[in-house]
Amino acid sequence: MKPEITITYRPTDAAKIVFDYEIKNPETGDLLATGHSVQVFMDLNYQLVWINPDFYEEWKRKWLE
């Protein structure tokens, strides 16, 4: 039996990517685990980037419209 994994993108205006996760038993539908992750953008000097990079803005336009 393979678990059913659902990953949900949570849109935000901030310069970060947020995902929520659910893992369920596919036979019973029981929720086994949940999770949450936040990825931030950093430059080559490991400093936080406060504005969304162009490639990420393009990705959002492509997938969220």
Q: What is the pLDDT of residue 51?
A: 94
Closest to 17 in 3D by CA, of 65, 45, 55 = 55
* Model confidence, pTM: 0.81
pLDDT along the chain (65 residues), means of 10: 95 94 97 98 96 94 84
The Cα-based distances of 19 to 7, 15, 35, 53 in angstroms read 7, 14, 8, 18
Q: What is the pLDDT of residue 49?
A: 94
Q: What is the pLDDT of residue 65?
A: 75
Q: What is the pLDDT of residue 39?
A: 97
